[in-house]
Chain A
Amino acid sequence: MNALVALPLALPLLGAAVSVVLGRWRPVQRLVTLAVLATSLVISVVLVVRVEREGIQVSQAGGWPAPFGISLVVDRLSAVMLVVSSAMLLAVALFAIGEREGEGRHVGFHPVYLVLAAGVAGSFVTGDLFNLFVCFEMMLVASYVLITLGGRPDQIRAGMTYVVISLVASIAFVTVLGLVYSATGTVNMADLSTRIPELDGALRTGFAVLLLGVFGIKAGLFPLFSWLPDSYPTAPGPVTAIFAGLLTKVGVYAIIRTQTLLIPEGSRPDVLILVVAGLTMVIGVLGAIAQDDMKRILSFHIVSQIGYMVFGLGLFTVAGLAGAVFFLANNIVLKTSLLLVAGIVDRFAGSCRLSETGGLVRRAPVVAVMFGLPALSLAGLPPFSGFVAKLGLVDAGVSSEAWAITAVSLAVSLFTTYSMTKIWAGVFWGERDRTPSRTAHTSDRFGAPPLMLIATGAVVAMSLAIALFAGPLWDLAERIGADLVDPSGYVEAVLGGDS
Chain B
Amino acid sequence: MTVLLALAAAVLFATGTWLLLQRRLSRIIVGLGLLGHGANLVLITAGGRRGTPPLIGESEPSTFADPLPQAMALTALVITFGVTAFLLAMGFRSWQLTHDDEVEDDIEDRMIGRAGRPDDAVDDELAAQRAQAEEDAS
Give A contacts to B, CB under 8 Å. Answer: 130, 133-134, 137, 141, 144-145, 148, 151, 153-154, 156-161, 163-164, 167-168, 170-172, 174-175, 177-179, 181-182, 187, 230, 290-293, 296
Contacts and interface: CB of A to CB of B under 8 A. Distances in A.
Contacts of A182: 45-46, 48
A187 B87 CA distance: 29
Nearest to A181: B46
Contacts of A160: 25, 87, 90-91, 94, 103
B70 to A, nearest CB: 12
Contacts of A137: 79, 83
Given A160-B90, A163-B90, A168-B32, A174 B112 contact: no
Contact of B79 (A134, A154, A159, A177): A134
B91 to A, nearest CB: 8
Nearest to A151: B93
A159 B90 contact: yes
Contacts of A296: 108
**Contact-size category for B:** 35 or more
Contacts of A156: 90, 93-94, 97
29 contacts: A133-B76, A134-B79, A137-B79, A151-B93, A153-B98, A154-B107, A156-B94, A157-B103, A158-B106, A160-B94, A161-B103, A163-B83, A167-B32, A168-B35, A170-B79, A171-B35, A171-B36, A178-B42, A179-B46, A181-B43, A181-B46, A181-B68, A182-B45, A182-B48, A290-B115, A290-B116, A292-B111, A292-B115, A293-B108
**4 tightest A-B CB contacts, nearest first:** A182-B46, A178-B42, A174-B39, A178-B43
B83 A292 contact: no
Query: Considering residues A145, A153, A181, A293, which has the most beta carbons from chain B within 10 angstroms of its beta carbon?
Result: A181
Query: Considering residues B90, B91, B115, which has the most beta carbons from chain A within 10 angstroms of its beta carbon?
Result: B90
Nearest to B84: A167
Name A's interface SS: helix
Contacts of A290: 112, 115-116
A153 B38 CA distance: 32
Interface in B15-69: 20, 25, 28, 32, 35-36, 38-40, 42-43, 45-48, 68-69
Contacts of A187: 68, 72
B129 interface: no
A94 to B, nearest CB: 28
Nearest to A233: B108
B86 A177 contact: no
A171 B39 contact: yes
B42 A175 contact: yes
B82 interface: yes
Contacts of A153: 97-98
B119 interface: no
Nearest to B111: A292
A88 B33 CA distance: 35
Query: Considering residues B32, B76, B104, which has the most beta carbons from chain A within 10 angstroms of its beta carbon?
Result: B76
A167 B97 contact: no
Contacts of A168: 20, 32, 35
A142 B96 CA distance: 23
B109 interface: yes
B28 A164 contact: yes
Contacts of A230: 106, 108-109
Given A157-B94, A160-B94, A178-B39, 13 more contacts: A134-B75, A141-B82, A144-B83, A157-B103, A157-B106, A164-B32, A167-B87, A172-B39, A174-B39, A175-B39, A179-B42, A230-B108, A230-B109
B73 to A, nearest CB: 9
Contacts of B38: 171, 175
Contacts of A148: 90
Contact of B112 (A164, A172, A292): A292
A178 B66 CA distance: 13
Nearest to A144: B86
A185 to B, nearest CB: 8
